[in-house]
C-alpha cells in the first residue's frame, strides 16, 4: 500500500505544483486587469459601469489583455519613439520624492537581471558556505561595486546563494574569485538541483582538453 501511495504521489505532486504556480501567475495578471477596470469606473461615465462589470465576469480575459499589453509595450519600447517617451517618463518619476528611490532601485535591478548584455545569473558556481568545507551552489550576479569594492583587495565576485526548496529567498555574498569553482552546468540545471535538494542531479558536462596537433612536416 505504501509503495502505491508514493507512486501516486510522484505522479500527481509535480502536476499539482505546476497548476498551483500557473494559477498564482494567472491570478496576479487577472488581479491587475481587475484593478485597472475598477479604477476606470471612477474615470469613465456612469453608463460604462455595466460594460466594465461584464468584462470582469469573462474568464481569462484579464490574462489575455495583460499579455497583449506586455507584448505591445515591448514593441513600443524597442523603437526610437517609444524609447524617447520612456526616458521622459523615467525622468519625471526620478524627480518625485519617495517614488524616485523605489523606482530607481527597482529599475536598476530589473535592467541588470533581464538585460541580454548583462552577466547576472548567467553562471553557476560552487562556493563554501556557511563555513569552510561546506559547499553550495550560487549564481554570479556581477562584481562588487561602490564603497564595498573599495574595502575588498583582489578580484571578487558577487553571488546569490538561494535557499532550498524556495530559491526566491537567499543570501548575497561577495567572495574571492579564486574561491569560486565555475560549473559547466547551465543556470536552469543548477536551479533544478537546488530546488530538488540535490535529488535531481544534472548530467556531467565534460570539457575536452585542448590537444596540440603536431606541425606538418615540411620538405
In this prediction, residue 87 carries a pLDDT of 84
Q: Burial of 165 by CB count in 10 Å (0-12 exposed, 13-18 middle, 19+ buried)?
A: exposed
Q: Burial of 47 by CB count in 10 Å (0-12 exposed, 13-18 middle, 19+ buried)?
A: exposed
In this prediction, residue 128 carries a pLDDT of 93
pLDDT digits (tens, 9 = 90+) for 66-102: 888 888 888 888 888 888 888 888 888 888 888 778 8
Using DSSP, state whether 127 is helix, strand or coil.
strand
CA 49/CA 166 separation, integer angstroms: 42
pLDDT tens over the chain, length 219 residues: 888 788 888 788 878 888 887 788 778 877 887 777 777 776 777 667 777 777 777 777 777 888 888 888 888 888 888 888 888 888 888 888 887 788 777 776 666 656 555 556 788 999 999 999 999 999 998 888 888 889 998 899 999 999 887 787 889 999 999 999 999 988 888 888 888 888 888 887 665 554 454 555 555
Amino acid at each position: 500500500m505504501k509503495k502505491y501511495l508514493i507512486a501516486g504521489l510522484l505522479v500527481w505532486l509535480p502536476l499539482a505544483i505546476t497548476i498551483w504556480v500557473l494559477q498564482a501567475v494567472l491570478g496576479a495578471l487577472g488581479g491587475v486587469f481587475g484593478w485597472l477596470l475598477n479604477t476606470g469606473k471612477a474615470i469613465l461615465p456612469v453608463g460604462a459601469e455595466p460594460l466594465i462589470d461584464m468584462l470582469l465576469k469573462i474568464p481569462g480575459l484579464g490574462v489575455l489583455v495583460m499579455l497583449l499589453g506586455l507584448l505591445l509595450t515591448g514593441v513600443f519600447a524597442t523603437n526610437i519613439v517609444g524609447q524617447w517617451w520612456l526616458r521622459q517618463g523615467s525622468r519625471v518619476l526620478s524627480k518625485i520624492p519617495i517614488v524616485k528611490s523605489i523606482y530607481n532601485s527597482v529599475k536598476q535591478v530589473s535592467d541588470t537581471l533581464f538585460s541580454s548584455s548583462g552577466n547576472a545569473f548567467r553562471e553557476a558556481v560552487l562556493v563554501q558556505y556557511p563555513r569552510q568545507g561546506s559547499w553550495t551552489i550560487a549564481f554570479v550576479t556581477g562584481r562588487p561595486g561602490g564603497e564595498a569594492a573599495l574595502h575588498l583587495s583582489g578580484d571578487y565576485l558577487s553571488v546569490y546563494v538561494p535557499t532550498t526548496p524556495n530559491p526566491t529567498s537567499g543570501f548575497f555574498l561577495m567572495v574571492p574569485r579564486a574561491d569560486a569553482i565555475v560549473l559547466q552546468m547551465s543556470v536552469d540545471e543548477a536551479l533544478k538541483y537546488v530546488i530538488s535538494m540535490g535529488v535531481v542531479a544534472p548530467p556531467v558536462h565534460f570539457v575536452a582538453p585542448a590537444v596540440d596537433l603536431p606541425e606538418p612536416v615540411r620538405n
